[in-house]
Amino acid sequence: MSGEALENLSHEDRIFVPSPEFASKANGKSDLYTQAQTDRNSFWDEQAKNLDWDTPWSQVLDWSGAPVSKWFVGAKLNVSVNCIDRHVAAGNGQRVAIHFEGERGDTQTITYKDLLDRVSQTANALTELGIKTGDRVAIYMPMIPEAVISMLACTRIGAPHSVVFGGFSAESLRSRIEDASASVVITADGGFRKGSPFGLKSAVDEAVASIPSVKKVLVVKRTEQEVNWNSERDVWWDDIVSKQSTSHTPEFFDSEHPLFILYTSGTTGKPKGILHTTGGYLTQVAYTYRVIFDIKPETDVYWCTADVGWITGHSYVAYGPLANGATQVIYEGTPDTPHKGRWWEIVAKYGVTILYTAPTAIRTFMKWGDEFPQAHDLSSLRLLGSVGEPINPEAWMWYREIIGSNNCPIVDTWWQTETGAIMISPLPGVTATKPGSAMGPIPGINAEILDDAGTAVGHGSGGYLVLTKPWPAMLRGIWGDMERYKETYWSRFDSRYFAGDGAKWDEDGAIWLLGRVDDVMNISGHRISTTEVESALVSHPTVAEAAVVGAADETTGQGIVAFVILRAGSVDGPGVAKELRAHVAKEIGAIARPRQILIVAELPKTRSGKIMRRLLRDVAENRTLGDVTTLADPTIMNLIGEGLKSSTSDDD
Ligand code: WT7
């Protein structure tokens, strides 16, 4: 195609073919697709053999029908041994595992040998605190090395961890600790964010006050801020971990031993504790990391900007990179502290070669201006990744041109907390990519797009994304609620996993993800349910009723817009919306704070009383209203529309 013809193409019509140079050295090869198609189980069998197992499996997959699968049946392994000990044993103890960069500029260099010592000490400390195999440990931490060290220490002793994002409120933390009946909480006094310390220990104090299952709280001193201390229950990390022996003899656990629980929002108010197990999870995470991020552990420096509180931080900060013996950067803070070039300064400082981040961050940088990345030497970069929400073609092109200098393949990776690892993505060096498309299922994964009746649609058509075959890293259930597990994922379409996303095939057979099809919003790549925010709003004494929608947002993908009816006697004053926004942040966490709150007199309902969110979304996105004929009272939409025009969204 001539340059001129290319110029005339819109972004989504472009195709980027892998460079022969990248392709010749790529870990992923096109024959992986053929191998997986020919014999799926032996394909996964081969991937599993890249890990160290103590006892081999008798069967790759036990699938007697949806929804329960077992992978690598009867085998035993230890995750921390795979992530650390074997690299040290192979002579790579001096390789850097983690370059830690604190927001205030403090740094730590942690080699694989250092990591082995620190994880062993932490495992010994957890044992001293009474943790036994199978006991749950909650982790509520800033992005500091101890967060990853704690996770690995849990895996070393077979104690499933439940990491709770440090931005969640005391109440969100409480309900998660209680649901998993965790007996120990690992936390820090606080962390640094936007140049100031924030507190974590205080939220833990509030959360565990009413939970008798919590026997001990282990506290890392990060900020030196004042904390309340319960000497029966609280233990400083430095007092117990540092005095432990650096040797620890690991046990090996069944392939299906629970590895962790991670809570995510569903369509009801109660978050789901997604359960992952050991062997299959590590197999798929290690494999995807190797072929999708094309990791060359001797030379690459990888940086994933996700927090360990999300699945991306589990699979592609903790387990994927370490299982592959990679060197990575962990950064504690925000992209604009102390200046808007901080990320690019970090890329240049450590010579980052692979960067994995979210579209919301990319769009934010686009908005800030090219001068920030352009002030730094980004020439070390050779591969870029995106995750969390659909990436719009304009952001994809900006990422490619400004961050990648037009010579880095981009992998747009679709997956979920539930899938545990990447499912749909190009293979760099193999797949020709289109800006905005996640392209197709990776080797070993099978996906389809179905219409309402459950029939697979063809190229050029859209519908519901499903996964048609079990995969090693798939969730094994919802903690304590197998019924909800079946109902949520396996009841919409017979024997197929319903992801909750809309998708379409284009004419060439590439997949385009179209966003959620349920009442789940995606705010900056984070999943929040409309019901959860509605419950938080109605828990405020002035609120009678609330309806929440996710409205398109230029930067965050979606923004939360709430329509609220006040109780009789409550007056709508200038401070009301502000107070309600703060209330939601306190109940759930700052990420759930509505972008906009609109006080209304009525909500649009059908005659049977169901709120018509579709119409509220039309209002929130300034669109002409869709069909209003099923409304009990069609005139109320005029009132709501008028109200929105006069409302302001404050940015406090
Ligand atoms: C939901 C899962 C997977 C780690 C981060 C989010 C959306 C995720 C993409 C992508 C389009 C994406 C989906 C999915 N999503 N990646 N590359 N393109 N949409 O994990 O919180 O479990 O959310 O995020 O809607 O269902 P999560």
- Could you read off the pLDDT of 34-66 as tens digits, one per residue? 999 999 999 999 999 999 999 999 999 999 877
Q: Ligand 1 center to residue 479 CA distance, Å? A: 21
Q: Whose CA is nearest to atom 10 of ligand 1?
A: 414
- Contact yes or no for 102/192 (Cβ under 8 A): yes
Q: Ligand 1 center to residue 208 CA distance, Å? A: 31
User: Residue 483: CB partners within 8 Å, gap ≥ 6?
Assistant: none
Q: Whose CA is nearest to atom 20 of ligand 1?
A: 416
Q: Whose CA is nearest to atom 14 of ligand 1?
A: 416
pLDDT at 637 over 80: no
Q: Which tokens in the block code for residue 21? A: 């140079």
Q: Whose CA is nearest to atom 18 of ligand 1?
A: 390
Pick from 500, 486, 188: nearest CA to 332: 188
**Which atom of ligand 1 lies closest to the CA of 414?**
17
Give me the architecture of the 3-445 domain, per CATH: 3-Layer(aba) Sandwich (3.40)
Pick from 491, 378, 494, 499: nearest CA to 438: 499
Q: What is the DSSP string of 45-64?
A: HHHHTTS--SB--SEEEEES
* CATH classification code of 524-646: 3.30.300.30
Pocket test for ligand 1, best of 260, 310, 386, 416 (most atoms within 8 A of CB): 416
What percentage of the chain exceeds 90 in pLDDT? Answer: 85
What percentage of the chain exceeds 70 in pLDDT? Answer: 97
- Contact yes or no for 123/157 (Cβ under 8 A): yes
**Which atom of ligand 1 lies closest to the CA of 413?**
17
**Which atom of ligand 1 lies closest to the CA of 417?**
22
| Cross-strand pairs, 219 | 187, 236
**In the chain, what's the furthest Cα-to-Cα distance?**
74
What is the four-CA torsion angle of 507, 510, 512, 517, rounded to 10 degrees? 90
- Contact yes or no for 99/327 (Cβ under 8 A): yes
Quick one: pLDDT at residue 268? 81
Pick from 226, 267, 200, 191: nearest CA to 527: 267
pLDDT digits (tens, 9 = 90+) for 462-488: 999 999 999 999 999 999 999 999 999
pLDDT digits (tens, 9 = 90+) for 353-370: 999 999 999 999 999 999
**CA distance to 579, 622, 647, 651, per residue, from 644 (Å):** 18, 9, 5, 16
Q: What is the DSSP string of 178-227?
A: HHHT-SEEEEESEEEETTEEEESHHHHHHHHTT-TT--EEEEE-SS----
Q: Where are the domains of the chain?
A: 3-445, 524-646
Q: How far apart are CA 368 and CA 176, in angstroms?
A: 36
**Which atom of ligand 1 lies closest to the CA of 418?**
22
Q: Ligand 1 center to residue 517 CA distance, Å? A: 12
Decide whether 3-445 matches 524-646 in CATH topology: no
R_g (Cα) of the chain, nearest Å: 24
**Which atom of ligand 1 lies closest to the CA of 516?**
25
